[in-house]
Chains A and B, each alone.
Chain A
Amino acid sequence: MKNPYAVETVRIKKCVNEAPDVRTLLLDKKMDFNPGQFVMVSLLGFGESAISISSYPDLQITFRRAGNVTNALFEKCTGDEIGLRGPFGKPYPLNEIAGKHILLASGGCGIAPIRSLLKYYLLNENSFSGASLFFGARNPSMILYKNELKEWRKSFEVHLTVDQANSEWEGNVGVVSLLLEEFKLPANAAAVVCGPSIMIKSVAETLGKKGMPESDMIVSLERNMRCGLGKCGRCNIAEKFVCLDGPNFRWSDIKWRV
């Protein structure tokens, strides 16, 4: 029997500072995963943390320093080793959203798994009818993946907004759902949403008003996870475990508990 708690040591190939307290690590490991899945990152002695995979098909993770493990992880850089388990969780339902216009709405670090899907999209552009990205950050310095935005804009629309603008910011100010209100929803669209639960709720509500069926909205949820195996008992929403059945759910299946 394979030990699901065994940790594999993986080297950090590259480390990129995305924003204050947010970092992306490229890991030297071939892993068989799909966009929307996550890994358990270990620093022996500090503990383990569930972190979204933020790229495809290469293995990258993007995280904000927020707790014990991520604080310690922030000390690690190119050449250092970390522990890894995974991948865990169910990926985005790629077959279901194939052929559709995918509307990606993300807030803060919630863009990490969305970027994985975007990279998949760029490799399989022909199997979708289009994409548009909506990204809300707390302030202009918290906009992640700044270097890639230009490249992305060649293939799909990118809409940015910030909660608090500074003197240099000329773009939108306000929450993501405000941006969406002005957006003309293409026919045959599906949404993929990741961010704080208040943002998920308001985005879902806005999209609902625009006529998108709740079963076409895929939302990614955050919970405390210790094992990734549906055993430790803390990430469940009713009988569904976010680590096993999620983290990506159809809004229609889960909205009553978010």
Chain B
Amino acid sequence: MSFQIKSPGEAYDVIIVGSGAGGGMASKILSEAGFSVAVVEAGGDFDPAKEEDRTQLRPPWESPRRGASTRNRPFGDFDAAIGGWDIDGEPYTRTEGTEFDWFRSRMVGGRTNHWGRISLRFGPNDFKRKSIDGLGDNWPIGYEDIKPYYDKVDQLIGVFGSKEGILNEPDGYFLPPPKPRLHELFIKKGADKMNVPVIPSRLSILTKPINNDRGACFFCNQCNRACQAYADFSSGTCLVKPAMKKGKVDLYTHAMVRKVTTDEKGLATGVSYISKVDMKEYKLKSRVVVLGASACESARIMLNSKSSNHPDGLGNGSGMVGRYLHDSTGSDRMGFIPDLLGRKKYNEDGVGGMHVYTPWWLDNSKLNFARGYHIEYWGGMSMPSYGFGFGMDTIRKYITDEFGKPSQNGGYGAGLKKDIRSYFGTMVGMSGRGESIPRYENYCEIDNNTVDKYGIPVLKFNYNWTDQEINQAKHMQDTFEEVLTNSGAVLMGEKAGPDSKYGLHAPGRIIHEVGTTRMGDNPNTSVLNSNCQAHECKNLFVVDGGPFVSQADKNPTWTILALAWRTSDFIVGEMKKKNI
């Protein structure tokens, strides 16, 4: 490891704000190019290989709440990600009549400590949606521009999958996929009857090692707890820490960036941050500033970076910073497979996520919504935690004894105990995750009336779904019922109807929000150029989900990584040419 000792005021080559997927990739590529890098992270250090950070392989009783969620771990007490939708002292607001929930992870690696490792490439159509359906805008780049970087990301980080030859679901450099689980074969049986494809999933989990620094998966099904063998992708374990080992990288933790500082010419000179440890403000200087703080946080930093050259916020002469905010759609359904009652017990954990999934399979020109969705599946004998055994007052009637006689709802005693035992591993569920239409009208802005506990003005969200997303959610619900019924499952709960927008989650709930600093060739309608460089500030770049022109019916992480690599290569070239 090398150390850089600097006197106060001496500049780094690059400051990267945020240590998630985008910031992590930038830290690796830029430090490997020989630049001195500061990574500024708002949360604490985190390394799942350290015993004191390990939540993996712990049974529920090691948590006093048996793994139930808490305010700062909404996905359960063992989830690695610290933060959530409601962080103490870090509020956000919404315009009345609109909705948006903002998920943040305050720690090294950011939200890559939580995500489902679903690693899908955007396809050729995903960059040119306006040409297909006339809605939103095309990206200024196409699949061919980013394909070499997807190829490199596949090999650097690792993703399992199968080559399928589907045009808009491009194949990559895949590791071997795991065989399906039992409930996944039930789903496939049901989906086959209606020509819904079910193929091996594509997750960034190592079913084989790809280098000597990370181990192979040992199949505990707990990727969301962060892997002590580094066998799944998180930015801290796979990018930031390796970059720190090899290059000139200083990591600043508990450092909440307030603004990007600029000089009299309007160029970025560094960042100003509040230390959460002593609540004092510090400055760092650099030749280049790279924002990877998450789509909304990077927009917030730019909007808060006002100066005489940038009166509406840094790089916001177009007024586009914060606009076109969009998240994936989401709707879910679950069922219960009577054929699995009293099933044989074996270790069914597998990898931390589904072994099969459904990519979008229909032609939108024949449907009443313009964009597609993929389907994620879950179920089986996963580890019981808080909530297991709930609901016997409504679902026990579906449990039958060896003679096929159904039980009564509710009850108590040996019969109840036996029924819960028999029911373990019979549940199956599915979640649609779809593409929404990016809209100028959906945005975040600075709320001038509210500051967080660091004194930094907070974001105010303005976001509403349209019929496009609601019609898509209805299609999901209809499809889910058909797949479940065809699989031999009994549908659980009531079908979500129009009053709940067909179960459509509030924007922000799927945690795929992108688009707030979108790229484009026209500086009047976009914030960044096609190299993710600010139109109005040539040494400012954004490497998170902000540059996305449209979110596909895919998870965004793999595209964030590929774009961040491409942007970093561009920065290296420009710095070497002394253009910045």
Asked if A and B bind, the verdict is no
A interface with B by C-beta (< 8 Å): none
B interface with A by C-beta (< 8 Å): none
